[in-house]
Every structure is written in C-alpha cells, then in structure tokens.
A = this chain, B = another copy of it.
Amino acid sequence: MARSGPSRREVIKGAVGVAAGAVAARLADAMPAGAQPPAAPPVVPIDPTRVTGGPTTAVGSRSPFVQPSRAPVGLTEGTSKTPLQLLSGTITPSDLHFERHHGGIPLIDPAQHRLLVHGRVAHPTEFTLDDLKAFPPVTRPHFIECAGNGREAFRKPRPDLTPQQVDGQLSNSEWTGLPLRDLLAEVGMDAAATWLLAEGGDAARLTRSVPVWKALDDALLVYAQNGEPLRPETGFPLRLLLPGWEGNINVKWLRRLELGTAPWMTRWETSKYTDPLPGDTARRFSFEQDVKSIITTPAHPEVLRPGPRIIAGFAWSGRGRITTVEVSTDRGATWRPAALVGAEHPKSVVRFTLPWRFDGRETILMSRATDETGMIQPTRTEWRATRGPGSDYHYHDIRAWKVAADGTVTFANGEVWA
C-alpha cells in the first residue's frame, strides 16, 4: 500500500499514458492459457466518471477484463475443467462448472422429458418435471468431482500445471430438487429392493448401479443449480445427485430408475471406474470421493512480489464435513490451521484462507485437509503404498506449490514426492 502515495489527480494523470496496446498485453497476461482473447482490447476511458456508462441489459455479461475459460489447454472431447484459480468464495459459477460426458451434451425439451421409475415398485410411474416439482423441495450446497480428477498431475506432475489443470474437475453448486426417498415412497418401493439402476438420456445412455441405502440417505433428484434451471452440461433438465460420490454416478439427463436386488455391473462400473489394487484384487464401487484440498492462490502462473498476501484454496470430502485445513509454508515442516468458510455444510466445498508474508526466500506451500470421519490427506508416498501402482482414480494426495526467490510459482508435487 502506498501510504501518502500518489494523489487521485496524479493517478488520473498517470492513466492518460496507458495505451490500448498496454491494456491488451495486460489482459493477455491475466487470461488462462487456452482462453479466447477478446475480439478487441477494451477501450477504457481515462476517467470513467467523465463519460456516460453502458445501458441496462436483459442478461448481463462479464467485464471484458474478466475472461475465464474451462479450456486450459484447448477443448478436448467430453472434458473441460473449472478454472479454480479464478474463483472466490464457495460457489462455482454455473457456466464454469466442469464438464464430462461420453456422447455429447443432449438437447432436451423439458416439456417432453419424462422420468420412468419401475422394477421392484408397486406403482411403475412416469413423472413429468412438473410432477417432480410438486414434491417438497430441498436446497443444499454440494460439490461434484470426477473420479479421475488429479490424474494428469499425479502421472506427470509438471511444474507448469495450474490449479485448473491439477484439480479442475471439481465444482460446487447450490442444488435444488427433491429427496429421492420421497419419490421411492410415492411409487411404493419393495422392501426387497437393494439396488437401483440410473440411466441418462444422452447418446452414451450412461448407466450406474446405486445401493438403495444411499437413495434413502441423502440422494436428491435436482432440477436447479445456483438459483436457475440446470445447465445443459450439468444435466438439464434433471440429474441424480449422490452427495460426495464420484462424478459419473450423479447421472445427468436422468430418464430412468429401475429398482432391483443386485447391481447391474454396467460397463461404467466394470471396464471403467474400478480401481485395481496390489495382490490382484480391486476396489469395486469406490463411490466416495476422499478428503482433499488444494491451494489455488498463490499457484502457477502467478508471480509474487514480497509482502503480505493471502494463501487461499478449496477443501472437500465425500464423507462429510471438513473439520480442519492445515497449511504449511515451509515444505511440510510445520503446519498452521487455516480459516474456513462453508465448513458447516457436509460434502460441500470449503474455502480456506491464511494470511502469509512472502519474504523473497524460496519455499514450498502445501495444504492438507481432515474430515469429520478423521480421514486426512496422505502424502503421495502413503497414497501409493496403500493403493498400489494400478490405481487410476481418486488421487487425493497433498498438493504442493514452490515459490522461487524471484516470486515465480510452480507445481511442486514432482519435486516434493520424487
């Protein structure tokens, strides 16, 4: 802070010298790699109080100085990632929710959409959206995370990875819908039913088996997200939400639920989403996302100036509430508890923050979260010892960032756990 610094008049005078080219260069610096550059650099008035501003609009747009993108390295088929390093608070803006689909995003007319519930039920029923909205609604914040989130960073922990590239298949929303148990009561589920099959209405017709105990616990059928209808890429007009469970089982574009007495062993739970373990065994149905955290600032590609700043990031657990997030600013030698926002909500992203001063000396920053079941984030070595070399999902080992003496920040998991 410039105590007794330049007067406002001097600042205004200074701004005269800012050419459009310099603005464009600064914009490009601030943009994540792969983001589309603006069509033209914004023409900023020397003094915005001297010119009439823009009009009201039917639907708003971001400032031209804010250009987020879900495509850190160009768009790939079926996957995009939330730019975690650009977020504040706990909510992921709906248009930046990560995407994962296997047959493209279907275009569905909500007035035509139906949910069929059948199998081991007394009253097989087809529900319209209006039918579902006549059940008492609930609203709760929950994260959704891809089972494979972190894989790229685990396999190839390159120094130039950003938080988005490391863990961007994670998003958090305020969801609105109905408890699945209310729907199952309505159709008269058989007492013998122990599993249900959920089927999506996309070209992949993704199907997953869900134990009935989860359906009767905290499962929801959701039709709204952050105050508005679901977005097409998050399941419009209807998705299954199994709080804390791996992303793919939260079936999007939900069109069918079948009640039965055994899992269906679909290809989405045999060829995919099963973890090989040491000793020729495997974890089947590894539903819960494990406790995890990541510092999102400072992080690559930030360059720090010496002085006070905030270390901040996200923590979450599929098993319940986050109780503690500890931050180390000395390569794991000592740990301090961070302040938490949103920790009252189970299976929802928590924002953690800790004031810190960068003194111009190289160091390594880390975070580790603990949840209410006592689970704590492992080191990579501990994780590998338990899960073995074949594991292909649920990478939740401690993430580390190296701050060099010149202030450059790089992803340090390759160095720390080498």
Contact = CB atoms under 8 A, between A and B. Distances in A.
A255 B224 CA distance: 37
A381 interface: no
Given A42-B107, A108-B48, A224 B59 contact: no
Contact of A49 (B68, B105, B106, B136): B106
A127 B56 contact: no
A301 to B, nearest CB: 16
A55 B139 contact: no
Given A49-B202, A58-B75, A226 B91 contact: yes
Identical chains bound together, number = 2
Contact of A125 (B1, B95, B205): B1
Contacts of A6: 126
A361 interface: no
Contacts of A405: none
Contacts of A58: 34-36, 69-71, 75, 80
Given A3-B123, A56-B79, 6 more contacts: A15-B112, A23-B109, A26-B111, A59-B68, A60-B96, A60-B233
Interface of A: 1-8, 11, 15, 18, 23, 26, 34-36, 42-45, 48-66, 68-71, 75-80, 86-97, 99, 101, 103-112, 114, 116, 123-128, 131, 133-139, 174-176, 186, 201-203, 205, 223-224, 226-229, 231-233, 236-237, 253, 255-256, 307-310, 312, 339, 341-342, 351, 353, 355
